[in-house]
Structure 1
């Protein structure tokens, strides 16, 4: 295990160095400018190097089952300092955040979007009980815990939420890093986009808010504080929204759609 940890540490340092060397890049598509942070390149590098045909020698040791299990299990320790930073970002803008506090609460209803939109599409694509786990939320820790407790991860619902968790981990931050600046160019207010970034995933929120800050450095404090406040609120209120609103609504819609499909 000690040797595996050393391999992981060396690999992490190499990926970080490569991503920082590439640096912040922008791609212009018409009137839209897409901002790509070093975080995005770090994700892409690890994804590419993790492909099966490239896993030999040193790479095979890095992507061993032991290392992958170790990294997944202890990822939360990397996120803890980030969560502490979010709290520090909220404090300077607390008065302004409280002034629009009701907006933060209302936006929590957006958590129902995965059920209202995602469930019908998942069932249309042919999923059944897997759709319960895949569309309850964005497949982060809250949904993972709820599904695992109610159905177990070996169930069809468990496979659904695990699939979404893995997809979100691989592509979530990348998608948010690209999508946020596109919406900014389409005319959305940066405050609204910063609030929308707090979806309950630290990596996704960081990807979205960081690209917004890169585009609007003069609004850095506002963007980071709004995103952090939204993230903290989603982590708290989102759990109750999921249990008391999303889950019952999902069960009702599932029974209606599946019965109608018969």
Structure 2
């Protein structure tokens, strides 16, 4: 395990270095630009090298069962520095943010949409226990932490939330890079879109806010402050919304829709 772990550390440093060297890339799509963060490239590199085609020699040791289990178990600790960064971005605009604080709170109701809409669709597609992890939220840090603590990432629920986390990082950033400027062109205010950027995902927030800054560069500080405040409050208040509203609602819907599942009683 110790020897394989050293391979994992070396591999992580190489991938991070490669992703940072590629850096933030902006791809023009007509009048819009798609922002691709280094995190996206890091995940793509890791996924490609994890294919069976490359699982030989050094790569086999990197992707050993022990390393995979270790990464799944301790992934949550790597997310904590994000919260410190959000706080640093919020501080300069704290007075302005407190004046409209109620708006940030009401947007949390939208987090229930994944349960109300996503869970029935996931079950219809054939998912069972995986649907619990995949539809509790948008599969970001808060949901990842909750599912990891309650079920572990090696469970069916854990695989569901982790799959959504990866898919969201890859495709969510691209979607919001395009969607935010479109909404701006349709007449939505820059402040509202900046707040909407903080949906609980660091990568999606960065992509969305970066695309807005590219459209209105003179409001960069306001956009980043609103997005970071929304992200911070979503991460904080979203935890309570998830535990006290989303989890019971998901449990009820799952039991109603999956009556024949002998494990339905332990849903969420």
C-alpha distance in 2, partners of 1:75/1:132? 19
TM-score, length of structure 2 as denominator length: 0.79
The C-alpha deviation readout for 1:166-200, integer Å capped at 9, x for no partner, is 21332222223212221123133443343333333
SS, match of residue 230 in structure 2: helix
Note the C-alpha offset of 1:134.
Answer: 3.0
The C-alpha deviation readout for 1:113-156, integer Å capped at 9, x for no partner, is 10121022123223345434432223345445655777x5699x
C-alpha distance in 2, partners of 1:13/1:149? 27
What runs of 5+ residues in structure 2 fail to find an aligned partner? 260-268
1:165 aligns with 2:184: no
Note the C-alpha offset of 1:216.
Answer: 5.0
1:51 aligns with 2:51: yes
Tell me the number of residue pairs that the alignment of Structure 1 and Structure 2 aligns.
255
Bigger shift: 93-102 or 214-223?
Answer: 214-223
> Please, what is the CA RMSD of the aligned residues?
3.1
The C-alpha deviation readout for 1:207-261, integer Å capped at 9, x for no partner, is 54455456655443323322322222222222222233223333444455557xx
C-alpha distance in 2, partners of 1:255/1:15? 42
Q: Give the 5 Å matches for 1:1-262.
A: 1-128=1-128, 130-140=130-140, 142-143=142-143, 152=151, 159=156, 161-188=157-184, 189-210=189-210, 212-213=212-213, 217-254=217-254, 257=257
Indicate conservation of the 8 Å contact 1:173/1:208, yes or no: no
What runs of 5+ residues in structure 1 fail to find an aligned partner? none
TM-score, length of structure 1 as denominator length: 0.80
SS, match of residue 41 in structure 1: helix
Q: 1:75 to 1:127 in 2, by over 3 A?
A: closer
